[in-house]
Amino acid sequence: MDICKRRLMKELSTAEKGLPSGLTLVSANDLTSWYIDITVDSNSLYQGQIYRLMFMYSPNYPMKVPNVQFVPDENRPIPIHPHIYANGHICLDILGDGWTPVQNTVSVCLSIQSMLAGNHTNERPPDNDSYVRSAPKYAQDSRFIYHDDSV
Amino acid sequence: MTTKEKLRQANDYKYAGNISFHTKNYTQAMEQYSKAIICDPTNPVYFTNRALCHYLCKELELTEVDCTRAIELLRDCGFDADTNPQTTSEVPAAQKPLMSSLLKAQFYLGMSLFGQERWRAAIKHLKAAYPLCRHFNDPKLMVIIDSVRICERQLSQEVYERETHERAQLHTLLMGLLNKKFRASCELKRELHCSEEYDSLKAKYESNVASLTDIFSQVNEKKKKEHFGDPNALEDAPDYLIDPISLDIFRDPVITRTGQTYERAWLLEHLATSKTDPMTRGPLYASDLVPNIAIRNAAEAFLKKNMNPAP
């Protein structure tokens, strides 16, 4: 649908003018997949480390949630967090049932940033090993249960 | 056969046509609707159904013919193409099928004209379909908004190209005149044996040519902005004129019970899968929406000032 392309173009032109602190646009290939580097402010477990997020938009965006996950790279590990699996999949309500079309790429980044900044537990999710073994390629295809909002 | 029997038979053909239609056998459906029309040539529904088959088979002229006939028949029933959107909510339930038929007739007529690149006529019929779509919360709203925008752009482009061509001709003519005058002056000076003034004449001529070219390129730039709008101006549109879903400037904004404003078409698209307000996540139904006229006027004024979509 046309709206998807138009909206992504608008988001991109805004992003190219400058992103909030801690976010860097790495690439936005033919609009439908973006890579964004993310850092977290000091005084957190993730101080001084850069992580890389991948966004994939379906033609139904923004009605449908984009697929968002961490992707590893040479010096870009997957952050250790009780809601982030070792394969980069993120368990966050706005990336599932909590998505609404007024959210956007930057607002998702900011949510992930604050999810990292507020965490003090240096652990993977309890079901990390079993999940990673059987997880689908894209986090979007998983059905997470958002049981714990305190972390 | 009595009239009553004929009408019943027409209806039977229509049902047979509908079955073929749903199995995507459009040619067969078309034949059934044609038989229905022979039995009862006064029912606009048979024409709009056949028009849709023509449209899906990319037979745009035939779509146009059937839609036009349906609109005529509907006008005879008191449904005018200019049916006021404000009064449609008072239409009795029994007349709903006719209204729905009018919607289809206007919409597919508009789309067939669009396909034939008859932009101005397409705009007229698509705009006539819009209030009807709104009444039925029909998802074709989005197609209408997009198509009308393309038509307006195309019209603007045509005018721009014609005017640019005319300006280019004028530019060439004036350049020719300048050159002629320059050469005549040179000739004159030569006859009067003051060839040392040639350099100053040439300099004057060249500066005139540069000024003229500059003036024309300024006018071209200005006209381009007038026709296509300033792409930067839209980015400078204030946030309150921007739909939070599409990030586009409002065309037909609606307001919810909690006071949030959205573009109608995109909000309806969202409500089709989730009956929630995207901002507040509270329950929200299409029937709760009312137009936000103040914002619509403000957005229209902004567009008029910065975009000038149609000449």
In chain B, where are the structural domains located?
Answer: 3-138, 167-228, 233-306
Minimum-distance CB partner of B245 among A11, A13, A102: A102
**Per-residue confidence (pLDDT) for residue A148, from 0 to 100:** 52
Q: Which residues on A lie below 8 Å from B274 (Cβ)? A: 100
Mean pLDDT, chain B, as a whole number?
87
- Confidence band of B311 (pLDDT split at 50, 70, 90): very low
Highest mean pLDDT among A51-55, B198-202, B264-268: A51-55
- Confidence band of B264 (pLDDT split at 50, 70, 90): very high
> Which entry of A38, A68, A91, A109 is annotated as an active-site residue?
A91
In this predicted model, which residue has the larger pLDDT, A71 or B306?
A71
- The answer on pLDDT for B304 being more than 80 is no
Here the tokens at position B288 are: 């709760």
**Per-residue confidence (pLDDT) for residue B232, from 0 to 100:** 62
Query: SS3 string of B260-306?
Result: CEEEHHHHHHHHCCCCECCCCCCECCHHHCEECHHHHHHHHHHHHHH
**CA A99 to chain CA mean position, Å:** 13
Q: Given CB atoms, is A62 within the 8 Å cutoff of chain B?
A: yes
Architecture of domain A3-135: Roll (3.10)
Minimum-distance CB partner of A100 among B235, B248, B278: B278
- Which amino acid does the sequence have at A49? Q
Q: Given CB atoms, is B146 within the 8 Å cutoff of chain A?
A: yes
**Per-residue confidence (pLDDT) for residue B89, from 0 to 100:** 54
Q: Which residues on B lie below 8 Å from A98 (Cβ)? A: 281
SS3 A53: strand
Radius of gyration of chain A (CA): 15
Cβ neighbours of A123 (radius 10 Å)? 11
CA pseudo-torsion sign B134, B140, B143, B144: negative
Contact call for residues A83 and A113 (beta carbons, < 8 A) = no
**Per-residue confidence (pLDDT) for residue B73, from 0 to 100:** 92
- The answer on pLDDT for B97 being more than 90 is no
Mean pLDDT of all residues in B181-205: 82
Is residue A4 part of the annotated active site? The answer reads: no
Contact call for residues B174 and B212 (beta carbons, < 8 A) = yes
**Per-residue confidence (pLDDT) for residue B309, from 0 to 100:** 45
Q: For B290, phi and psi rounded to 5 degrees?
A: -130, 150
Q: How many angstroms away from the CA of A13 is the closest CA of chain B? A: 9
pLDDT tens digit string along B215-254? 999 998 888 877 776 666 666 788 899 999 988 889 889 9
Of all residues in chain B, the one with the smallest CA distance to A98 is: B281
Per-residue pLDDT 10s for chain A (151 aa) are 478 888 998 899 889 888 999 999 998 887 889 999 999 987 788 888 999 999 999 988 999 999 999 999 888 999 999 999 999 999 998 998 889 999 999 999 999 999 999 888 889 999 888 888 888 888 777 766 555 544 4
Q: Fill in the DSSP letter of residue A44.
A: S
Minimum-distance CB partner of A63 among B247, B273, B281: B273
CA distance B39 to B22: 22
Q: Fill in the DSSP letter of residue A65.
A: P
Contact call for residues B117 and B150 (beta carbons, < 8 A) = no
Q: Which residues on B lie below 8 Å from A62 (Cβ)? A: 245-246
- Confidence band of B81 (pLDDT split at 50, 70, 90): low
Q: Given CB atoms, is B235 within the 8 Å cutoff of chain A?
A: yes
CA distance B247 to B266: 11
Q: Given CB atoms, is B246 within the 8 Å cutoff of chain A?
A: yes
**CA B14 to chain CA mean position, Å:** 32
The fraction of chain B above a pLDDT of 90, given in percent, is 54
Q: Is the ipTM of this complex over 0.85?
A: no
Instruction: Return the residue in A63, A106, A146 with the most chain B beta carbons within 10 A, the one to mutate for interface testing.
Output: A63
- The answer on pLDDT for B72 being more than 90 is yes
Q: Which residues on B lie below 8 Å from A7 (Cβ)? A: 246-248
**Per-residue confidence (pLDDT) for residue B231, from 0 to 100:** 60
CB contact burial B64-88 (16+ within 10 A = b; e otherwise) = bbbbbbbbebbeeeebebebeeeeb
What fold does the segment set B3-138 form as a domain? 1.25.40
- Which amino acid does the sequence have at B232? N
Q: Which residues on B lie below 8 Å from A101 (Cβ)? A: 244-245, 266, 270, 278
Minimum-distance CB partner of A3 among B244, B266, B276: B266
Every domain of chain A and the residues it spans: 3-135
CA distance A75 to A52: 10
Out of 3.40.640.10, 3.30.40.10, 3.40.50.1440, 3.40.30.10, select the CATH number for domain B233-306.
3.30.40.10
The residues in A 101-120 lying below 8 A from B, measured between CB atoms, are 101-102, 104
Q: Given CB atoms, is A27 within the 8 Å cutoff of chain B?
A: no
Q: Kindly determine whether residue B273 and residue A7, on different chains, have CB atoms separated by under 8 Å.
A: no
